[in-house]
Amino acid sequence: MEEQFCERLAQLRLAKGSSAREMSLDLGQSAGYINNIENKNNLPSMAMFFCICEYLNITPRDYFDFDAKSPEALSTLIEYLKQLDENQIKNLTAIVKDMI
């Protein structure tokens, strides 16, 4: 799980377009902080994990959804889906199923 955690951080950081140094400094940490996590030398505290999620614009649940390649975009899509009625959701589900 630790390895997945560290790899996920790198994946999400790169998707956001931030360097490890930039993210570290934006979080108020030393320049090598994120590199140390991604290289499995350290793990963040729980409080810092929440800060990392906030920085990435995702929830902690999204962080651990390792199958979601773009959790921020997926979260936005889900918010739109919540506004659809049952028939619209069924139609959209059929379209997505055909796409897959």
Looking only at Cα atoms, what is the longest distance across the chain?
Answer: 51
What is the pLDDT, as a whole number, of residue 65? 92
CATH number of the domain encompassing residue 16: 1.10.260.40
CA dihedral 59, 60, 65, 68 (to 10 degrees): 30
What is the pLDDT, as a whole number, of residue 35? 97
What is the pLDDT, as a whole number, of residue 70? 87
| 81: CB partners within 8 A, 6+ apart | 89, 92
The number of folded domains in the chain is 1
Containing domain of residue 60, as a range? 2-99
H or E stretch including 18? none
pTM: 0.79
Per-10-residue mean pLDDT for the chain, 100 residues long?
Answer: 93 95 98 97 97 95 90 89 96 94
